[in-house]
Structure 1
Amino acid sequence: MANITYDRACCVYPGADKLAVDSLDLDIDDGEFVVLVGPSGSGKSTALRMLAGLEEIDSGAIEIGGRNMVGVAPKDRDIAMVFQNYALYPNKTVGENMGFALKMRGISTAEREKKVADAAKLLDLTDYLDRKPARLSGGQRQRVAMGRAIVREPQVFCMDEPLSNLDAKLRVQTRTQIAALQRRLNTTTVYVTHDQVEAMTMGDRVAVLKHGVLQQFSTPTDLYDHPRNAFVAGFIGSPAMNLFTAPVQDGTVHVAGSPVELAQDSAALLKQSGLSYVTVGIRPEQLELADGGDGVDADVALLEELGSETYVHADVNDAAITSLEGGSVSLVARSARRAPAKLGEGIRLRQVSGGIVHLFDPESGERLGR
């Protein structure tokens, strides 16, 4: 069993006045694919390196298969690491790179060649075993790095932003291959990325970190539908959730002088809170361009034409609502129509009928209710 437990694990770098990872609690199941995601400096790579033994655990503990890893050398943790920069030996062939760790462990040539051949077949690298890394594409080099990890048959795969050096199209293709391969091998995997789209499409569960503190650990759909706080709401989703501060009148949110349609439980919680202002979150797909009636006036600032849909970025003309930073508000709406408006054109945005609205405390950022 290769379940992983972070038990209030902490790490602080020498000379730093803040923890790089602060009391991290995670329970990762055997065979699960978990993604650590967050902006730069959130502690995600440090948390992975703590698991691999490359950074010390200053307090708390990390367990693999029930065994405490505090004080255990990296080579004794039965973990394989895949790095961002591939870390291949340029003077060795693909086959030699993949089998090098086995050679160092004294595995026989015959067994080593069999394991390398099996991994190469999995990764579609059989025709490249005699090539040097310089004669491979970026995606092929990353697959070689994956193969080097696979042949070791470890308890855990640790992957530190392995797709960052690839171009956009190859990144999409390779992330699909990695996710499919992990499900075939059923090896517990901890994957670090700053790309929330990667996190949402690859992980069984996703841990969102900010300043070394875990914000939420859940499935991709739960993160999207029920963000625990305004940070998760704004970080998960592409384009991001629209977030702004709006006044509360008579127990309901008002935008452009009109009440916002809220779910019954959200409306009840808002009344109980006694807030005079609230942070409102609404996804782009929950907004539409209106011909008239209720809504908020805005000016089109940008059109993102994606073929099947268009994202309309518009600056709002309503001084009563403000951005989280206190400035003017820009909203993004998704339209199924091509060119639904023109740049600079005045439009009206409104909530789609039954559209979901999320409410957060404007001070703490915490979600009101589930």
Structure 2
Amino acid sequence: MADVVFDQASRIYTAGAKPAVDRLDLTVSDGEFVVLVGPSGSGKSTALRMLAGLEEIDGGSIRIDGENMVGVSSKDRDIAMVFQNYALYPNKTVGENMAFPLKMAGVEKSARAEKVREAAAILGLTDYLDRKPRALSGGQRQRVAMGRAIVREPRVFLMDEPLSNLDAKMRVSTRTEIAALQRRLGVTTVYVTHDQVEAMTMGDRVALLADGKLQQFATPADLYDRPANAFVAGFIGSPAMNLFTVPLTERGVRLAGHELALPRDVRATLGTHQITEVTLGIRPEQWTVTDSGTEGIPARVDVVEELGSDAFLYGTLAESTGDLSDDSAVLTGSGQDAVVVRTGGRSGTRRGDRIALTPSVEGLHLFHPESGERL
């Protein structure tokens, strides 16, 4: 096992162009499970390939267990990689696929067989060792790919979106298996995914990238509770945090014509930034829903997603209930006035209902309107 350090690591594909990975600083502790997550083009897969030796390091360095990897070939880094497409040999059995890297390393046949049996027992593949990959399900094939990595006993596991080819139900069960297996083996693991739910449920810590830059590196709870900027706030959470650009008032902020009072210390902090408006963030679960006409911000429900134990209300805020009386005036899923609210399941709320919303002041998030940084 080993720790992994990205020290101002950069990758530039075209001279003069924006780096694909821009001065990435990241430390993965020995035995830790770290997830790199971000939208398409964020640089997460490039960073993983830099660590694997599949991409050059154009600036800075990457160290594994203190050893600088610049100029070191992939085969000499003592890492094992699990790919999205499994990369299994169709003409070899499960056992032969798992044993192949050991065979290439010159390990004796008896020792190979013993390591394969041990890995197969861990992964629940003992009964499938004589089958060909075509006779396995997608989840089983992914476990074979992981078994091939496990038998090598590497210092670091690298996983590049290994669940992307699985259906939704199989993804949930397989990600649980991977997380449990990593904790059992205790091998340092760097895992790439575009799915923020996958990242939040699997990683000890999560690194969120965008445009090649690290936005925040923290535990899943810290990412959710204290996002470093508006991008993190809007990316982490399903559904995402509600973000509104609102004017400041003497007592707080004004949202949809309604003043939300803020604590004195928060107002004092805002006053030091010389701004007249702020980006206000409210999680879907931080709203209290009451009947229309009661105290709160009037809103109309446009869509209801019933999920059994929970429901999500997608609607539109208004400065008064009269603003919502005309169907043609209602927004449907975008714009400054769109809002998402989480409620209990079977609440009885239906499309077209008028409701009143009151946010929890303790749960408000405030970001700079231009830089997006947390205030």
Fold conserved between structures, TM > 0.5: yes
Aligned to 1:330: 338
Contact persistence 2:288–2:358 (CA under 8 A): yes
Match of 2:372 in 1: 365
The reply to whether residue 344 of structure 1 matches residue 352 of structure 2 is: yes
Which amino acid in structure 2 is aligned with residue 344 of structure 1?
Answer: G
Counterpart AA for 1:332: V
CA distance in 2, matches of 1:289, 1:270: 28
| Cα displacement (A) at 1:146 | 0.3
2:220 match: 220
Larger deviation, residues 172-181 vs 292-301: 292-301
d(CA) in 2 for partners of 1:244 and 1:231?
13
Partner amino acid for 1:241?
M
Determine the structure 2 residue equivalent to 1:81: 81
Confirm or deny: 8 A CA contact 1:98 1:145 kept in the other structure: yes
Match of 1:301 in 2: 302
TM-score, L = length of structure 1: 0.94
Aligned to 1:144: 144
Matched-pair contact (CA < 8 Å) for 1:262–1:357: no
* Aligned counterpart, 2:325: none
Secondary structure class of the residue paired with 2:272: helix
Q: CA deviation at 1:262?
A: 3.2
* Alignment RMSD (CA, Å): 1.9
Q: CA deviation at 1:136?
A: 0.3
In the aligned structure 1, how far is the partner of 2:227 from the partner of 2:263? 16
Task: Confirm or deny: 8 A CA contact 1:305 1:339 kept in the other structure.
Answer: no
Q: 2:25 corresponds to which residue? A: 25
Determine the structure 2 residue equivalent to 1:49. Answer: 49
Percent identity between matched residues is 64
The answer to whether the 8 Å contact 1:8/1:25 transfers is: yes
Number of matched residues?
Answer: 364
CA distance in 1, matches of 2:312, 2:207: 28
Read off the aligned partner of 1:362 and give its amino acid letter.
P
For the Cα contact (< 8 Å) 2:233–2:240, is it kept in 1?
Answer: yes
Equivalent residues of 1:252, 1:271 under 8 A apart: no
Q: Deviations over 1:230-281 (max 9, x none)?
A: 0000000111100011111115111243322435543331233232111000
1:139 CA displacement: 0.2
Matching of residue 315 in structure 1 with residue 316 in structure 2: yes
CA-to-aligned-CA distance 1:41-81 (integer Å, 9 cap, x gap) = 00000000000000000010000000000000000000000
Gaps of 5+ in 2: 321-330
Change (3 A) 1:263 1:50: farther
Is the CA contact 2:93–2:129 (under 8 Å) kept in the aligned structure 1? yes
Please state whether the residue corresponding to 2:181 is helix, strand or coil.
Answer: helix
CA–CA separation in structure 2 for the residues paired with 1:337 and 1:93: 48
Is the 8 Å Cα contact of residues 251 and 271 (structure 1) preserved in structure 2? no
What are the Cα deviations for residues 26-48 of structure 1, in whole angstroms up to 9, with x where unaligned?
01100000000000000000000
Which residues in structure 2 correspond to 1:88-167 (within 5 Å)?
88-167=88-167
In 2, distance between residues paired with 1:54 and 1:318?
55
2:23/2:60 contact within 8 Å kept: yes
Matched position secondary structure for 1:208: strand
CA deviation profile, 1:119-158 (whole Å, cap 9, x unmatched): 0000000000000000000000000000000000000000
Counterpart contact for 1:301–1:343, Cα < 8 Å: yes
For 1:138 and 1:160, how far apart are their aligned partners in 2? 16
Residue in 1 aligned with 2:5? 5
* Separation in 2, partners of 1:101, 1:109: 12
Moved over 3 A (4+): 261-265
Contact preservation (8 Å) 1:244, 1:281: yes
Residue 8 of structure 1, CA deviation: 0.3
Q: Which amino acid aligns with 1:296?
A: I
Map 1:127-276 to 2 at 5 A.
127-276=127-276
The offset of 1:345, in angstroms, is: 2.1
**Higher mean displacement: 307-316 or 207-216:** 307-316
Counterpart amino acid of 2:349?
Answer: A
Q: Is the 8 A contact 2:79 2:156 kept in 1?
A: yes
Q: Displacement, 1:288?
A: 2.0
Partner AA of 1:316 in structure 2: L
Structure 1 unmatched runs, 5+: none
Q: Deviations over 1:107-126 (max 9, x none)?
A: 01110000000000000000
- Asked whether the 8 Å contact 1:285–1:334 carries over to 2, the reply is yes
Q: In the alignment, residue 213 of structure 1 is paired with which amino acid?
A: K
**Is the CA contact 2:258–2:319 (under 8 Å) kept in the aligned structure 1?**
no
The more displaced of 245-254 and 339-348 is 339-348
The alpha-carbon distance between structure 1 residues 337 and 73, as it changes in their structure 2 partners (threshold 3 A), is closer
Q: 1:263 to 1:138 in 2, by over 3 A?
A: farther
| 266-275 or 112-121, which deviates more | 266-275
Q: Structure 2 vs 1, CA of residues 227 and 264 (structure 1 numbering), >3 Å: closer, same or farther? A: farther
Q: Is the 8 A contact 1:256 1:318 kept in 2?
A: yes
- Give the 3 Å change call, closer, same or farther, for CA 152–344 of structure 1 in structure 2: same
SS, match of residue 80 in structure 1: strand
Do the aligned residues in 2 keep the contact of 1:256 with 1:295 (CA within 8 Å)?
no
Sort the Cα spacing of 1:151 and 1:270 in 2 relative to 1 into closer, same or farther, 3 A.
same
Alpha-carbon distance in 2 for matches of 1:55, 1:46? 7
Map of 2:34 onto structure 1:
34
Say if 1:357 and 1:163 are closer, same or farther in 2 by CA, change over 3 A. same
